[in-house]
Amino acid sequence: MNLHDHDIRYEALAEGARQKAVEAAKAFLADGKYTPERIAELLNIPVEAFMEKAPHRQGK
């Protein structure tokens, strides 16, 4: 395996781990026992990674 292949494999593994953390964060959030900030701290991911963005409404 060359260095480029190693980098691609590492990035894929890191992305998979991040997605698992986001899934876990959403489950913790749905459970309602933790604040988004605490979940982010525990899982070492930003709040924005798992909080749904509210649809942007254009006012009249």
pLDDT recorded at residue 53: 64
Copy the structure tokens of residue 37: 């900030």
Alpha-carbon distance 57 to 2, whole Å?
49
Degrees (nearest 5) of the Cα angle 44, 37, 34? 105
User: pLDDT higher for 52 or 32?
Assistant: 32
User: pLDDT higher for 23 or 3?
Assistant: 23
Confidence of residue 54 (pLDDT cuts 50, 70, 90): very low
- Residue 32, amino acid: G
pTM assigned to the model: 0.73
- pLDDT above 90: residue 60: no
User: pLDDT digit string (tens) for 8-51?
Assistant: 999 999 999 999 999 999 999 999 999 999 999 999 999 999 99
